[in-house]
Amino acid sequence: MDFLKLVYGGSTGAVFKGPAVDPVELEKLQNRLEEADKWLRQGIDEGNDGFGWLKLPYQQTEHVFEYGNWLGNFENVVQIGIGGSALGNLMLRNALVHPYYNEIPLQKRKGPAFYVADNVDPHGSKSILDVVDISRTALIVVSKSGSTAETMANFLYFFHQLELAVGASMAPDHVLVITDESRGSLRAFAKDTGCRSLTIPSGVGGRYSVLSAVGLVSAVAMGIDIENLLEGAGEVDEKLNSRKVILDNPAWILSALHYLHYRKGRNIDVLMPYSDRLEDFVEWYAQLCAESLGKQGQGFTPVRALGSIDQHSQVQLYTEGPDDKLFTIIEVKRTDNPISIPGVNQPSLKELSYLYEKEMGQMLSYEAMATAAAIYRSGKPVLWIEVEELSPRTLGGMIFFFEYVVALTGRLLEIDPFDQPGVEQGKRYTYGFMGRKGYAEHRREAEDLFHMLNRKSIEL
Ligand code: PA5
């Protein structure tokens, strides 16, 4: 196994209490998957909108390194962005740097402390300012559209603080803008002030942008090996491109199984890694899945779970609740930090001796197996993905793999996995409420709808 192993025996066959997926049904999707793969590859060649992420493993990275290294001049970096302009950064940090990275003393860290301002909850934004010296802080402001209200509001807030701290003329020297080549307020700001800026390639959508400057610049600043990250993504791309028979291609199988189980009423997609380092990967995947596939009355509800914690929270529902979910458990085989559980010389703890000298990571793996077995025993379909280790290379490969699976699944569902009309609707209503010029009609519409909700209410 170079990157991952997909175990899918628990998701086909006649063991289910509910409708089963016959292995023959999988093979019958060969032609449709072949067509979907061709559609993707043709989309890149023709430079179609939304397909640009397939080229990201092969991009030039000089500017990413230049600006990532420039961030090393600061004590802190605050990335301002939301959705696809933030979740990938959090995923990379969670998976590839120390969980308490920001708390490690600056001299021992590989780069500046890293914060993300995504929500417009003043509590979160103010709290960042409580812990950073803004005069020693750089802002990375990321927005594909260059206009998303939350990102703009946080940008104005932090930029103003910078102006107060270092003066209006110096403040732009602390800012890196990552946005569209020509449209939006951020591009105009970069042109006017001459602050540093990078471009999000036009064909790359927000939730597919983690392997562009959006995710890579902060990764370089935190010392993540982005060359290996991209190399892993490229290797997986090549492997997937060389396997055009369904039973030979794990991404095709995964996509087909999602599609087939969905058709049989399982429209909840539970992704449950047994690794703290993949907690934000699941968060990132949830956006990718929901925004790409939730369209035209179709889609999967992504559920973020984490083993073993959710064994003590969700597994009751998973095993004995409704049969409306497809489960995917991820096991990372190698841990960098083994702990041998010590035996202690306390007679009162004798019953715990079954744990003595056992390795804690091994215990986590057994827990993953226990959950898979319990779900399967209850008659529900369960997939298992094994990853040898979590490194920049393997994570890059996994990112590309899941993006490809989601895009293929979108094609099987006959929807466009690269647009997000529902998100845009919410953005228009927000602009309207906040008084943006040209959006008054949207405000009226949203207010009318909201008043309809209010026809019935009750106080306590
Ligand atoms: O995937 C998407 O397109 C969205 O989730 C965006 O990432 C999100 O809405 C933020 O948009 P923008 O980057 O334009 O500010």
pLDDT value, residue 36:
98
Rounded (10°) angle between helices 122-131 and 149-166: 30
Q: Residue 419 has what pLDDT?
A: 95
The residues that bridge with 329 in the sheet, in sequence order, are 272, 384
The DSSP bridge partners found for residue 420 are none
For the Cβ of 174 lying below 6 angstroms from any atom of ligand 1, the answer is no
The rounded Å distance from CA 247 to ligand 1 centre is: 35
Best mutation site among 79, 80, 82 for ligand 1 pocket (most ligand atoms within 8 Å of CB): 82
How far does the centroid of ligand 1 lie from the alpha carbon of residue 81, in Å?
8
215 C-beta closer than 6 A to ligand 1:
no
Query: Which residue out of 144, 154, 178, 430 has the highest number of ligand 1 atoms within 8 Å of its CB and is therefore the one to mutate?
Result: 144
Identical topology for domains 5-41+229-412 and 60-200: yes
Would the CB of 84 count as within 6 Å of ligand 1?
A: yes
Answer for the pair 211, 236: CB distance below 8 angstroms, yes or no. no
Measured between alpha carbons, how far is 430 from 358 in angstroms, rounded to an integer?
A: 54
Q: Pairing state of beta strands 268-274 and 325-332?
A: parallel
Atom 15, ligand 1: which residue's CA is nearest?
143
pLDDT at position 14, please?
A: 67
410 Cα: distance to centroid of ligand 1 (angstroms): 19
Q: How remote is the C-alpha of 308 from its chain's centroid?
A: 20
Atom from ligand 1 closest to the CA of residue 291: 1
| CB of 423 shorter than 6 A to ligand 1 | yes
For atom 3 of ligand 1, the residue with the nearest CA is: 206
**Would the CB of 85 count as within 6 Å of ligand 1?**
yes
* Edge-to-edge order in the sheet of strand 137-143: 113-117, 76-80, 137-143, 175-179, 196-199
Q: Is 187 in the pocket of ligand 1 (CB under 6 A)?
A: no
The residue nearest atom 2 of ligand 1, judged by CA position, is 206
For the chain, what are the domain ranges? 5-41+229-412, 60-200
User: What are the pLDDT tens digits along the chain (460 aa)?
Assistant: 899 999 999 999 866 788 999 999 999 999 999 999 999 999 999 999 999 999 999 999 999 999 999 999 999 999 999 999 999 999 999 999 999 999 999 888 889 999 999 999 999 999 999 999 999 999 999 999 999 999 999 999 999 999 999 999 999 999 999 999 999 999 999 999 999 999 999 899 999 999 999 999 999 999 999 999 999 999 999 999 999 999 999 999 999 999 999 999 999 999 999 999 999 999 999 999 999 999 999 999 999 999 999 999 999 999 999 999 999 999 999 888 899 999 999 999 999 999 999 999 999 999 999 999 999 999 999 999 999 999 999 999 999 999 999 999 999 999 999 999 999 999 999 999 999 999 999 999 999 999 999 999 999 9
Residue nearest to atom 8 of ligand 1 (CA): 83
**306 and 286 Cβ atoms separated by less than 8 Å:** no
CA 151 / ligand 1 centre spacing (Å): 10
383 phi and psi, to 5 degrees?
Answer: -105, 155
Which atom number of ligand 1 is nearest to the Cα of residue 207? 1
Q: What separation in Å is there between the alpha carbon of 187 and the centre of ligand 1?
A: 16
Question: Is residue 196 within 6 Å of ligand 1 at its C-beta?
Answer: no
Confidence (pLDDT) at 173: 98
Ligand 1 atom showing the smallest separation from residue 205 Cα: 3
> Quick one: 5-41+229-412 is in which CATH superfamily?
Glucose-6-phosphate isomerase like protein; domain 1 (3.40.50.10490)
Would the CB of 179 count as within 6 Å of ligand 1?
no
**What is the topology classification, in CATH, of domain 60-200?**
Rossmann fold (3.40.50)
Cβ of residue 12 lying under 6 Å from some atom of ligand 1: no
Residues with Cβ within 8 Å of 325's Cβ and at least 6 positions away in sequence, in order, are: 266, 268, 269, 270, 303, 318, 380
Residues serving a catalytic function are: 291, 312, 427
**Strand ranges inside 118-166, DSSP E:** 137-143
Rounded to the nearest angstrom, the distance between the alpha carbon of 55 and the centre of ligand 1 is 19
